[in-house]
Structure formats: C-alpha cells, structure tokens
A and B are shown apart, each in its own frame.
Chain A
Amino acid sequence: MGETEEVRLLGVWFSPYAIRPKIALRLKSVDYDYVEEDLFGSKSELLLKSNPVHNKVPVLIHNNKPILESLNIVEYIDETWNASGPSILPSHPHDRAQARFWSAFVDDKWFPALKAAAITKSEEAKEKGMKEVEGGLLQLEEAFVSISKGNPFFGGEAIGFMDICLGSFVGILKAREKLKGEKLLDESKIPFLCKWANEFLSDDTVKNVVPEIDKVVEFLGELEVRAQSAVSKT
C-alpha cells in the first residue's frame, strides 16, 4: 500500500459493540489509535461529527472517513484488509448468509431480550424474558454445532464473524453469573457453546481486548446503583 493509513476507533471499554472492531483489527494486524469516549460524561466533538445520526460508538475512522455500526465496521475491515489475516466472513455465499442471519438474531432478538429482562422491575416479565434468552441460547447451540462442523469456532479453525458477534457478549454473561448467580452459560444445557465461550476468551486476538470479568462485574454493579438512584430521584 505504501501510504500512511490513518485508523482510529472511538469506543467505550465496556461496550460489547466496541469490542467487535477491536477483535477484527487484531485479526487483520491493523494498527490503530483508540479513543475512549466518556460513558457518563459528554460526547466528544469527533464522535458527534462522525456519527451525527446516532451519536453512538463504535465509530471507525479510516483516512478521515467514518464507518458506523459494529457489524458494518467488521465487514468493512474484512473487505478493506482482505489480503491480511484470515477471512472474517466465510467465503461461500450461503455460509455468509448464515453468519449474517445468526448475527442479526443475536443483535435484534437475543440480546435485546436479555437487556429487557435485566432492566424490568416486573418479576413476571423478567421470568418470561429469561426464558426467551435461554431458548435463544439453545437455538444458538444448535446453530453452532451445525456451522462449526466439529471445529472450535463458528468460523471454523479461526475466529470469524459470528464468533465476534456473539463472543462480544460472553464477558457480560460471565459477569452476570458472578454478580447475580445467573447461570446462562450452563454446561448441562449448552455444552458446545460453553466450550466455545472459553475457547473464544482464550484466543490471542481476544485475550487482551475484552475487559476483565471482575472489572465488568464492578461496572454492572455501579450501573445498577445509578439506575436505582435515578428512580428514587423521580
């Protein structure tokens, strides 16, 4: 290439969505500047300028051009640095469609259900929500077995698109287990996904990218306190 590539990533340390481009950039051995946004403070000028529609992280800025939405960013990284590292998306069109389908399932159905169940004050809604989350994990277990074909990852021997998508939430699941005793990664129910989760966390491209579980536990606890004090103020 020859020219100096300017690659910047705007994120917050806690965000599973911001973890995704970090892993992708690691897979492709791309150097970048990381800018930590203030989660509870004001958003930086750069963020507001780069993402005027949603004002959200992550944002990848490549040679002054902003790319938005975590999975979009991962695909962009895969396509732009296609000669470097493993392919993040599978090569066959049907496998690519599968990867996109399951990642849409995780982002549009599964994680929103977990978030809603975590926030709700209604015991009934929480129970119903958690059932949906567990059901989703069973579906993902089945998908993993079919897609991985005996390999350690959805992507095969190396981490791929779907691993990045679902894997970015593993930290939260483990943290919630410590904080709430909520055992979603249950070896008796989803043995393959549990094994996959540990493989994912110990992979070289992931190890120093995902935050430490104890830090996440502390953060989740803090979030809860803030939410409760906000309620008591109204």
Chain B
Amino acid sequence: MATGDVKLIGSWASVFVMRARIALNLKSISYEFLQETYGTKSELLLKSNPVHKKMPVLIHADKPVCESNIIVQYIDEAWSSYGPSILPSQPYDRAIARFWAAYVDDKWFIALRSILTARGEEEKKAAIAEVEERTDHLEKAFIDCSNGKPFFNGDHIGYLDIALGSFLGWWKVVELDASHILLDETKTPSLFKWAERFCNDPAVKPLMPETAKLAEFARKLFPKPEA
C-alpha cells in the first residue's frame, strides 16, 4: 500500500486519533501522519472536515473519513483482507461491541473528563464516584465480551478494546490529577490486567504517550482556575 494513498490528520495526545492509528497498525497500513499544531487548525483539516473541524481525519485516495469510531470501522472494511478483523464477525457480537463503544464515549469519557474540569472538592468527589460506577459496568462488559480470552474482542484487540484502551494514557493522567486510583486492581481486576495487555500490544505500544508528557499537556488544556 503506497504511503501517499493514506494520510491521517491528528495529534500525538489525542485519544481519538490514537484509535485510527492503532487500527492502521493492526492492518499494517503505512500512512503519512500530519501532526496538527496545538492551538491552530490546518487548512487541510478545515477542508476535510468542514462540519466539525476536528481530528482525526483519515484521507484515503483523496476521500476524507471523519469521526474516530467511523474511521476504525472504515479501516476494517476497506482493508478487510489485511490483518485480523477489528469488528467481531457475528452480528450480535458486533452490536454489543458498538453499544459499549458508544457507552465509553457518551457516558464513561464524559465522567472522566468532568474530574479534570471539576471546581472544588465536592464536584471532584461526585465525578470520581461516577467514573467508578461506570468503570464497574465496563468490568462486567469485559467479562461478558471476552469469554475468558485476553481482550474484549477475544484473542486479538478489536473495536471495543481500541475504543476504551486508547484512553489509558489519559486515564493515568486523570488519576494523578485526582490523587485517586481510577483503575483499581481489586475493584476491577479483569480490566486492570486487560489494560496492561492492551498497552503492550505491538499495535499500541509505540503510540501510547508517556504519562509525564501527557500530564504536562493536560495542564495546558485544562488549566486550574486561580485559587
């Protein structure tokens, strides 16, 4: 696959961009990574995603594809004969994977983010409680989906692993910020072990940012209000 054919607009720090990159790695697709500069949006980004003006944007043979989960599905379908399947093969398992991936974005991530934006201890405590409750749901989902195997998707990482796992860097950063463990070995043991396996997967390892670098970036993105 010629490099010129596939481009990805994104940033090293973005969870959503990482999803696309993991998927491309799983399919062994080489691509040109167009790193956006923090604080500005490139002409190409604005042209390729005029509706949302957001990354990631995958450009394949000059056609843009937007929205991280849609990009991952596109990569799975466009390169279906390359590498392992990212979505499960059975319609029911696919529906389950899509359901929980939507839950991660619409419910779990919102709660995680609200820890970073919380004003005052009360708000922070409430946000932490919500994240813990929702992580508990994901622990149960993991047990159901994995069926004793190492990943949500079974033997290899797949759609739901990517959807949740891409948050692991930020998960650690938020833990540090909150001074509170959010991925607890005793409360959610399956997820805890899964997280380590996910981060060590060859498709993921080179992409996961260092916690210190990400924490520094987080301070820029979520500045603390003056005391």
Residues of A within 8 A of B (CB): 53, 62, 65, 67-69, 72-73, 75-76, 79-80, 93-94, 96-97, 100-101, 104-105, 139
Name the B residues within 8 Å of A96 (CB-CB): 73-74, 77
Q: Is the CB of A100 within 8 A of B99?
A: no
The chain A residue sitting closest to B94, CB to CB, is A79
Chain A: minimal CB distance from B71 (Å): 8
Other-chain residue from B51, B66, B92, B103 in contact with A76 (beta carbon distance below 8 A): B92
Q: Is the CB of A97 within 8 A of B74?
A: yes
The 8 closest A-B pairs by CB, nearest first: A79-B91, A93-B77, A93-B78, A97-B74, A76-B95, A97-B65, A67-B95, A80-B91
Question: What would be 21 A-B contacts, judged by CB atoms less than 8 Å apart?
Answer: A65-B92, A67-B92, A67-B95, A68-B95, A69-B98, A72-B99, A76-B91, A76-B92, A76-B95, A93-B77, A93-B78, A94-B63, A96-B73, A97-B71, A97-B73, A97-B74, A100-B73, A101-B65, A101-B66, A101-B70, A105-B51
Since A68-B95, A76-B91, A104-B70 are in contact, a sample of 6 more A-B pairs with Cβ atoms closer than 8 Å, ordered by chain A residue number, is A62-B92, A68-B99, A72-B95, A93-B74, A97-B73, A100-B70
The chain B residue sitting closest to A77, CB to CB, is B91
Cα separation A126 to B66 with both chains bound (whole Å): 29
Q: Which of B75-99 contact A (CB under 8 A)?
A: 77-78, 91-92, 94-95, 98-99
Q: Which of B29-74 contact A (CB under 8 A)?
A: 51, 60, 63, 65-67, 70-71, 73-74
Cα separation A65 to B95 with both chains bound (whole Å): 11
Q: Does B180 contact A (CB under 8 A)?
A: no
Cα separation A67 to B94 with both chains bound (whole Å): 10
Q: Does B13 contact A (CB under 8 A)?
A: no
Task: Name the prevailing secondary structure of the A interface residues.
Answer: helix
Chain A: minimal CB distance from B132 (Å): 16
The chain A residue sitting closest to B71, CB to CB, is A97
The chain B residue sitting closest to A60, CB to CB, is B95
Name the B residues within 8 Å of A65 (CB-CB): 92
Chain A: minimal CB distance from B37 (Å): 25
Q: Does B195 contact A (CB under 8 A)?
A: no
Cα separation A101 to B99 with both chains bound (whole Å): 17
Report if A69-B99 is in contact (Cβ < 8 Å); known contacts: A79-B94, A80-B91, A97-B73: yes
Q: Does B137 contact A (CB under 8 A)?
A: yes
Cα separation A68 to B95 with both chains bound (whole Å): 8
Q: Does B102 contact A (CB under 8 A)?
A: yes
Q: Is the CB of B95 within 8 A of A139?
A: no
Name the A residues within 8 Å of B103 (CB-CB): 53
Cα separation A68 to B51 with both chains bound (whole Å): 28
Other-chain residue from B51, B63, B67, B94 in contact with A100 (beta carbon distance below 8 A): B67
Q: Is the CB of B137 within 8 A of A73?
A: no
Chain B: minimal CB distance from A27 (Å): 16
Chain B: minimal CB distance from A92 (Å): 9
The chain B residue sitting closest to A81, CB to CB, is B91
Report if A94-B91 is in contact (Cβ < 8 Å); known contacts: A69-B102, A72-B99, A100-B73: no
Q: Is the CB of A104 within 8 A of B95?
A: no
Q: Is the CB of A139 within 8 A of B51?
A: yes
Other-chain residue from B60, B67, B74, B94 in contact with A104 (beta carbon distance below 8 A): B67
The chain A residue sitting closest to B102, CB to CB, is A69
Q: Is the CB of A75 within 8 A of B51?
A: no
Q: Is the CB of B67 within 8 A of A101?
A: yes
Name the A residues within 8 Å of B77 (CB-CB): 93, 96
Chain A: minimal CB distance from B93 (Å): 10
The chain B residue sitting closest to A65, CB to CB, is B92
Chain B: minimal CB distance from A133 (Å): 15
